Amino acid sequence: MTEASKWQPARFLDEDEKVYDDIFARARDLVDDPLQVMLVALRFLADAMADLPNGHPGCLVAASCYYERLFDQDVQDINREGVLRWRKRFRAMFDEISKVYPPREAIDLDELADTVSTVLEGGIVMAKALDDPRILPQKILVLRSLLKLHFKVAE
């Protein structure tokens, strides 16, 4: 096996980052309001997942967590890094949103940020388990609705 053809799990993390960067940048190009950026981006993400002909291909994070003994420490470290990156990304967005729209209930914003990842990862697993690619985009839209309800919009 050549070095170029070796399985490189870190590239999955980089690809995820590029997808998120693109989707959230497109949302920011359309709206300035931080809550609306999040809501538009989640709609874009749901649409992107719905456009995958056979659903999302799977998730390295879920696979390595379920089958951790099959993956070396490097892969486990990459997964941890990915999850922490997602937390940081979404936490920063929730910090911005909270400055404009106070949450209806006190909530740890790291926990809320982790919930975004949990919905995405869980949606992938559920879609695979039920062999229904529509599930992931549906779960993203449910999350979108819950976030709309969680942050108080000025009257």
Per-residue pLDDT of 18-42, as tens digits, reads 889 999 999 999 999 999 999 999 9
pLDDT computed for residue 89 by the predictor:
95
pLDDT computed for residue 142 by the predictor:
97
Report all structural domains of the chain as residue ranges with CATH numbers, in order of start. 10-150 (1.10.357.10)
Please give the model's pTM, rounded to 2 decimal places. 0.80
The CA distance from 69 to 37, in Å, is 39
pLDDT computed for residue 65 by the predictor:
47
Q: Which residue has the tokens 């740890």?
A: 108
Residue 138: count other Cβ atoms within 10 Å of its Cβ: 16
The CA distance from 88 to 85, in Å, is 5
Geometric angle at alpha carbon 121, from 8 and 25, rounded to 5°: 80
Report yes or no: 23 and 40 within 8 Å, Cβ to Cβ.
no
The CA distance from 117 to 52, in Å, is 19
Percentage of residues in the chain having pLDDT higher than 70: 77
Residue 43: count other Cβ atoms within 10 Å of its Cβ: 16
